[in-house]
Amino acid sequence: MNLLNVEIRAGDPISINEHTITPFAQSMQVTIPGMNGGLIWNRPVSILVQTKDGEEQVLSIPDVTRQTIWMLFGATFMITLFAWLISRIFKSFR
């Protein structure tokens, strides 16, 4: 039994005019042994666009929320580190 399972799955293709669009999503499942349920997190990853001529193009979907969370985590870490350094400097003047 896997504690962490990550998969990328294709959705149902959608035909619009001369294009077929297929969405792809990443699913991350976290299960805890001995407990019912767990955590499932889904996010869009990319879209495959196919034309009638056979051309294919993959368009990635940036996860802006995840990027923002990591940026906030980094800023919080830097502010905490800066405050700790300032407190150490002021303690040395006492």
The single-letter code of the amino acid at 71 is M
The yes-or-no verdict on residue 9 having pLDDT over 90 is: yes
How crowded is residue 29: how many other Cβ atoms within 10 Å of its Cβ?
15
Token pair 């869009």 in the structure block, residue = 44
Structural domains of the chain, count: 2
One domain for residues 49 and 19: yes
One domain for residues 37 and 23: yes
The whole-number pLDDT of residue 32 equals 84
Q: Which domain holds residue 69?
A: 63-94
One domain for residues 50 and 84: no
The yes-or-no verdict on residue 14 having pLDDT over 90 is: yes
One domain for residues 5 and 33: yes
Reference 27, options 49, 46, 5, 12; nearest CA is 5
One domain for residues 35 and 78: no
State CA 77 to chain mean position distance.
20
The yes-or-no verdict on residue 1 having pLDDT over 90 is: no
One domain for residues 4 and 48: yes
One domain for residues 22 and 57: yes
The whole-number pLDDT of residue 8 equals 95
* Higher pLDDT pick, 34 / 83: 83
pTM equals 0.66
Residue 48 pairs in a beta bridge with 22, 58
